[in-house]
């Protein structure tokens, strides 16, 4: 079935499910809705009116609703409104039945009053697990891990382990990897479900397991965790505390969310925007979030304006110089932004190591110089043909070469230095790099113009 055919089929199923809701036909609705994937259920749910959602809550248990709430993709501020229309006890049972890491994400987005209410109404064991996860910082391994895991004791036999897995599997998020602990719950090994199945029933887990385990600390940044999962092609990575006790796992689906989130933040910062900006924001809210960045850029732009006034005499003597200001500043800004994007991508993917930073800077400088030379030759020929001013051509082409070379260095060095001191390099956003390069390129341009002023007059 093609994608278009699937879309048409899903649209038909959605309409039929909503029709059963409106007719208050519980059996018909459940027969269709519960056959769908949880993601598809969440997609249908988000199309429903408040009245239709209220009917859905009557037709589904909190556990059935929790299954697709794990897949909901709402803006942070939408969760507050969502729970305004759900009975508090029903909502508490939904959150308690969700995967704990997803439940924590939702609770962090709603008011403290609602959060406290839901925690007090849900099962005590669920509330305890959720509270323990809420103690970790949001963007760390502890903040994105799940504690719904199966661990095996090193002293178990394979037969005992299989019995334990069958008992615990319904409440576990993933059973493809089984992590092995000693009697004090220290992480000591790993064994796959496949290895467990083919092992002799009387073998001890300690003899069948692999002792080499790659793990992360609860305090590790989520980007570092994502990089480890990507590098090793893990389905999950164990999370340990400072004493190497196993406290949870981070699964591949959590990492996909992290990558999506981090990419969105980096894109926003590169564009000089707030990373919490939403398409559902009003014009006023959007303006408030963008203003700090734009005001900062305005002050930087005033430096450019001051420079133009400072070289007013130079421009007055040779008015034609002003015609090439946009060309030089624009090309410097473009090359600087390209280098910035390369540097940030390399930092975020881990491609840039300490030993390769100098090589990257040299490569970008070489690239900026070569592209500057080519563009400089082109602009020199254009000026000769159009204005018959070889001196002006030398000034403009020389400025272009120098500005593009410097811009690539700035676009590379600034994010590397920010990363070195622990600041997110994406904050060195495109607009700031562009404005900085504007200032430097104009300095180069007018400095060369002053040197050759006698030849221009």
Residue 428: is its pLDDT beyond 80? no
Tokens of 51: 């009245």
Shared-domain flag, residues 438 and 289: yes
Per-residue pLDDT tens digits for 380-394: 999 899 888 888 889
Residue pLDDT, tens place only, 108-146: 889 999 999 999 999 998 999 899 888 888 888 998 898
Q: How far apart are CA 257 and CA 139, in angstroms?
A: 12
**Of 298, 244, 242, 309, which Cα lies nearest the Cα of 272?**
298
For residue range 55-112, list pLDDT tens digits in order. 999 999 999 999 999 989 887 778 888 898 899 999 999 999 998 888 998 998 899 9
* 272 found inside a domain: no
Q: Is the dihedral of CA 138, 188, 185, 160 positive or negative?
A: positive
Shared domain for 102 and 226, answered yes or no, is no
Judge whether 144 lies within some domain: no
Residue 278 within any structural domain of the chain: no
Please state, in angstroms and rounded to a whole number, the distance separating the CA atoms of residues 442 and 289. 30
According to DSSP, residue 439 is labeled H
On whether both 134 and 169 belong to a single domain, the answer is: no
Buried b / exposed e over 252-289, threshold 16 CB at 10 Å, is: ebbbebbbebbeebbebbbebbbbebeeebeeeeeeeb
pLDDT at 342: 81
User: How many structural domains is the chain composed of?
Assistant: 3
- Domain CATH code at residue 37: 1.25.60.10
Do 158 and 215 reside in the same domain of the chain? yes
Q: Let me know whether 338 and 362 are in one domain.
A: yes
Q: What tens digit of pLDDT does each residue of 231-251 get? A: 888 888 999 998 999 999 998
How high is the pLDDT of residue 429? 58
My answer on whether 171 and 236 are in the same domain is: yes
CATH number, domain containing residue 224? 3.10.580.10
Q: DSSP string covering 357-378, please?
A: HHHHHHHHHHHHHHHHHHHHHH
| C-alpha dist (Å) from residue 83 to 21, 86, 111, 276 | 20, 5, 10, 21
Measure CA 131 to chain center: 25
Q: Same domain for 129 and 156?
A: no
Instruction: Kindly state whether residue 274 falls inside one of the protein's structural domains.
Output: no
Range with the lowest mean pLDDT among 151-155, 243-247, 279-283, 294-298? 279-283
Q: Who wins on pLDDT, 261 or 182?
A: 182
Q: What are phi and psi of 234, to 5 degrees?
A: -80, 150
Token output for 4: 């278009």
CA distance 368 to 335: 7
**449 is a domain residue:** yes
pLDDT at 300 over 90: no
Select from 101, 106, 108 the least CA-distant residue to 86. 106
pLDDT for 271 = 53
Domain that includes residue 197, residue range: 151-267
Residues 442 and 299 in one domain: yes
DSSP labels, 31-88? HHHTTS-HHHHHHHHTT--HHHHHHHHHHS-HHHHHHHHTT----TTHHHHHHHTS-H
**What are the residues facing 181 on neighbouring strands?**
153, 187
Mean pLDDT of the chain: 84
């Amino acid at each position: 079935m093609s994608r278009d055919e699937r879309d048409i089929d899903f649209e038909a199923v959605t309409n039929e499910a909503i029709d059963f809701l409106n007719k208050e036909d519980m059996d018909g609705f459940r027969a269709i809705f519960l056959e769908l994937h949880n993601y598809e259920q969440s997609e249908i749910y988000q199309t429903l009116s408040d009245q239709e959602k209220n009917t859905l809550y009557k037709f589904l248990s909190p556990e059935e609703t929790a299954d697709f709430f794990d897949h909901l993709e709402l803006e942070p501020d939408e969760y507050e409104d969502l729970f305004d229309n759900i009975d508090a006890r029903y909502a508490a049972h939904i959150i308690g039945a969700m995967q704990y890491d997803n439940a924590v994400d939702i609770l962090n987005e709603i008011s403290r009053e609602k959060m406290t209410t839901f925690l007090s109404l849900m099962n005590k064991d669920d509330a305890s697990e959720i509270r323990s996860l809420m103690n970790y910082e949001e963007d760390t391994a502890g903040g994105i891990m799940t504690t719904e895991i199966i661990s095996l004791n090193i002293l178990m036999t394979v037969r005992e382990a299989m019995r334990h897995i069958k008992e615990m599997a319904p409440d576990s998020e993933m059973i493809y990897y089984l992590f092995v602990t000693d009697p004090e719950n220290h992480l000591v090994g790993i064994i796959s479900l496949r290895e467990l199945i083919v092992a002799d029933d009387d073998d001890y887990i300690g003899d069948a397991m692999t002792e080499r385990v790659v793990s992360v600390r609860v305090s590790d940044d989520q980007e570092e965790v994502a990089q480890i999962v990507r590098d090793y092609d893990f389905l999950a990575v164990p999370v340990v505390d400072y004493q190497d006790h196993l406290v949870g796992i981070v699964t591949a689906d959590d990492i996909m969310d992290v990558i999506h989130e981090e990419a969105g933040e980096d894109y926003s910062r590169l564009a000089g925007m707030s990373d919490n900006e939403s398409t559902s924001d009003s014009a006023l809210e959007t303006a408030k979030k963008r203003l700090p960045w734009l005001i900062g850029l305005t002050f930087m732009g005033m430096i450019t304006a001051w420079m133009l006034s400072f070289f007013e005499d130079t421009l007055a003597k040779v008015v034609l110089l002003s015609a090439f200001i946009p060309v030089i500043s624009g090309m410097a800004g473009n090359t600087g932004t390209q280098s910035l994007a390369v540097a940030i991508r390399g930092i975020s993917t881990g491609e840039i190591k300490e030993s390769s930073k100098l090589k990257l800077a040299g490569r970008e400088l070489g690239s900026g110089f070569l592209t500057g030379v080519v563009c400089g030759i082109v602009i020199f020929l254009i000026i000769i043909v159009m204005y018959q001013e070889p001196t002006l051509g030398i000034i403009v082409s020389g400025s272009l070469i120098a500005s593009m070379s410097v811009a690539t260095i700035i676009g590379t060095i600034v994010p590397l230095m920010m990363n070195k001191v622990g600041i997110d390099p994406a904050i060195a956003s495109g607009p700031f790099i562009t404005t900085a390069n504007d200032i430097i390129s104009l300095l180069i341009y007018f400095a060369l113009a002053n040197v050759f002023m006698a030849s221009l007059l």
